[in-house]
Amino acid sequence: MVVPGLGATSVLTSLGLFGSGIWMIPLLLSTYYRYDRVDPESKPIDQQNLLPEYDFIIIGGGSAGAVVANRLTENPKHSVLLIEAGPDENEVTDVPSFSAYLQLSNFDYAYKTTPQSRACLGMVNNRCNWPRGKVLGGSSVLNYMVYVRGNKNDFDHWGNLGNPGWDYKSVLPYFLKSEDNRNPYLARSPYHATGGYLTVQEAPWHTPLVAAFVEAGTELGYENRDINSDKQSGYMIAQGTIRRGSRCSTGKAFVRPIRLRPNFHLALNAFVTKIEIDPTTKRAWGVEFVRHNRKQVIRARREVILSAGALNSPQILMLSGIGPRDHLQAMGIPIIKDLPVGNNLMDHLGFGGLTFIVDKPVAILQNKLPAAAATTAYVLNESGNGGLEGIAFVNTIYANQTLDWPDIQFHMAPASINSDGGAQVWKILGLKPEVYKEMWAPLHDTYTWTIMPLLLRPKSRGWVRLQSKNPFVPPLMNPNYFDDPLDMLTMIDGAKIALRTAAAKVFKQFGTRLYQKPLPPCKHLPFLSDEYLECGIRTVSMTIYHQSGTAKMGPPSDPEAVVDPRLRVYGIKGLRVIDASIMPQVVSGNTNAAVIMIGEKGADLVKEDWR
């Protein structure tokens, strides 16, 4: 929060952004004066004097935990404590175009994968950067705000795996419950709703390239459609969690409105180290955390709800004695329950190496975008976006042609890795300096744009394990990208469809052409051959930040299940997991909307059990 007397330089420095983000100062100052003039949402209250016990303790104030806190406090008889490891948001996080600059800041856990042998080969030490939000609102504060629910077949598949109540017909009402869609052309759709806490709309401003992108899809035979309806295959201008041109995080949407509820307490900058579980009764009875360098333990009368995300939830479970027996024994942690925690790790991986040049100034180029113009657009017109304008879902030759269940998604952005003049983007991706210097530095002051194909339903599975029983040491994260060969074959075909999209007639008005400089590690291969595309995909492997599945939901007969269909941890009383960890299969699309839905449904399950 910018306060009187604290300048923009101090805010950027506190975020760790000053050196590379100095160009943002004019916009930051204008944003401050806008909020100083009218404060549309009051800040949540960081409660310093906590009660010794609450009915429910929620660990993690991210995309799911914020929702659960809101819904459980609807009952005035339920006392709720929400514990978040990071601080509150500020004016910088509100600006959509600053998304990239929030990564590697103090709002980010800044995780890295283990070294990969089949992906991330263009990254430093072959490790992909995995941003994770350490802030109220979680990764909904760092993401690019894209609102995609997934495919209806995803949820029907969850139900068919033995999870009643998670089929599409059952979960659609929970998507609608959250939503306040402000696009008039969707207002009467049975697949959208108004009046919910979460604002959804198109960005108020976008480039001409995204309209061409959608038209290019029709040239390829795909419809321009609402990809959040009953059919998904098609091209669309992206919908986002945007409110009046600003980011609408789950902290803003779900926590700020309940700040004055007397049965709600929020503890910020409180790092959870362990769930307290009685080893005899196998009941979770409290939470241990460190705040202001002081260890505290708060009791939970009814339940502990773990919503720390697909990386931190398994870490906390294992630190608490719930996890694979052999691993816990090796770490010297007393075993309370032997469960396959940390298995089934999935992520959406994209290929960031397709760069297209245009002759006209229709793309975003930081060095040719005057700060005053950006300030005017954001402050006066309340416009802005995170840089991702178009979404598409397409079918490769490996997709099931009898179902509307695409296997590749496109992210279209009117910029590329070079568009910020080398200030930050290549660093947040973790690219090797020599790869950036040879490949993208020559495009300095050149207008470019990108189509990034990403794999929707990977067959490869990774894992999360403890690196140490010290809770402040990050866990080990191995996505095991491309362990299954079909994942690579699907990505190669997806890249070919992306190239056909950019070659559509509609793009010729901008002089669009593929940047044909080969990636440094792939120069020995015929350009655009299958072998070259495979090398490129392995080199410029970009996470889409959709880690999931590490506390898998499933019936008792599923040996990989950690939680039951009511999200209760098997063998432990009074403990649930409500976040992306529970996904049996990652949804076909950006995960934020689905995680909010999981929070909505999970909260109802808790209410039903304690009614």
The per-residue pLDDT for 206 is: 86
Calculate mean pLDDT across residues 536-547: 95
- CA 353-356-360 angle, to 5 degrees, is 155
**Is the confidence at residue 21, as pLDDT, over 50?**
no
Residues with a known catalytic role: 546
Calculate mean pLDDT across residues 186-197: 92
The per-residue pLDDT for 103 is: 83
For the purposes of burial, counting CB atoms within 10 Å of the CB of 316, is it exposed (0-12), middle (13-18) or buried (19 or more)? buried
The per-residue pLDDT for 461 is: 98
The per-residue pLDDT for 99 is: 76
- Considering only CA atoms, which of 512, 154, 195 is closest in space to residue 358? 512
The per-residue pLDDT for 369 is: 60
**Is the confidence at residue 224, as pLDDT, over 80?**
yes
For the purposes of burial, counting CB atoms within 10 Å of the CB of 170, is it exposed (0-12), middle (13-18) or buried (19 or more)? middle
Question: Which two tokens mark 471?
Answer: 């809770």
Question: How many angstroms separate the CA atoms of 453 and 472, rounded?
Answer: 35
Question: How many angstroms separate the CA atoms of 10 and 331, rounded?
Answer: 41
- The pLDDT confidence band at residue 549, using thresholds 50, 70 and 90, is very high
**Is the confidence at residue 171, as pLDDT, over 90?**
yes
CB 312 within 8 A of CB 293: no
| Residue 146 annotated as binding site | yes
The per-residue pLDDT for 41 is: 58
Q: Which residues, 6 or more positions from 398, have their beta carbon under 8 angstroms from its beta carbon?
A: 407, 486, 489, 490, 493
The per-residue pLDDT for 40 is: 47
Supply the DSSP symbol for 545.
S
Question: How many angstroms separate the CA atoms of 523 and 132, rounded?
Answer: 34
Note whether 8-35+90-134+204-237+349-543 and 44-89+135-199+248-346+547-611 share their fold: no
Candidate from 110-114, 168-172, 417-421 with smallest mean pLDDT: 417-421
8-35+90-134+204-237+349-543 has CATH 3.90.1200.10 classification: no
Question: How many angstroms separate the CA atoms of 480 and 118, rounded?
Answer: 8
| Residue 143 annotated as binding site | yes
CB atoms inside a 10 Å sphere around CB 522:
23
**Is the confidence at residue 189, as pLDDT, over 80?**
yes
Candidate from 185-189, 468-472, 489-493, 582-586 with smallest mean pLDDT: 185-189
- Considering only CA atoms, which of 87, 494, 562 is closest in space to residue 323? 562
| Residue 378 annotated as binding site | no
Rg (CA), the chain: 23
- CA 528-453-110 angle, to 5 degrees, is 115
Calculate mean pLDDT across residues 428-445: 95
pLDDT digits (tens, 9 = 90+) for 242-297: 998 889 999 999 999 999 999 999 999 999 999 999 999 999 999 999 999 999 99
The per-residue pLDDT for 167 is: 98
| Residue 135 annotated as binding site | yes
The per-residue pLDDT for 423 is: 87
Q: What's the predicted TM-score (pTM) here?
A: 0.93
| Residue 145 annotated as binding site | yes
The per-residue pLDDT for 205 is: 82
Centroid of chain to Cα 49: 32
Centroid of chain to Cα 10: 28
**Is the confidence at residue 25, as pLDDT, over 60?**
no
Q: Residue ranges of the domains in the chain?
A: 8-35+90-134+204-237+349-543, 44-89+135-199+248-346+547-611
The per-residue pLDDT for 411 is: 97
**Is the confidence at residue 16, as pLDDT, over 80?**
no
Question: How many angstroms separate the CA atoms of 567 and 104, rounded?
Answer: 32
Strands 337-338 and 349-351: unpaired
The per-residue pLDDT for 581 is: 98
Question: How many angstroms separate the CA atoms of 585 and 214, rounded?
Answer: 28
Longest dimension (CA), the chain: 71
The per-residue pLDDT for 366 is: 78
Q: Give me the percent of the chain exceeding a pLDDT of 90.
A: 81
The per-residue pLDDT for 385 is: 52
Question: How many angstroms separate the CA atoms of 272 and 279, rounded?
Answer: 19
| Residue 272 annotated as binding site | yes
The per-residue pLDDT for 279 is: 97
pLDDT digits (tens, 9 = 90+) for 319-361: 999 999 999 999 999 999 999 999 999 999 999 999 999 999 9
pLDDT digits (tens, 9 = 90+) for 91-139: 888 887 777 778 888 999 999 999 999 999 999 999 999 999 999 999 9
CB 125 within 8 A of CB 115: yes
Architecture of domain 44-89+135-199+248-346+547-611: 3-Layer(bba) Sandwich (3.50)
Calculate mean pLDDT across residues 574-594: 98
Average pLDDT of the chain to the nearest whole number: 91
CB atoms inside a 10 Å sphere around CB 433:
12
Question: How many angstroms separate the CA atoms of 370 and 387, rounded?
Answer: 17
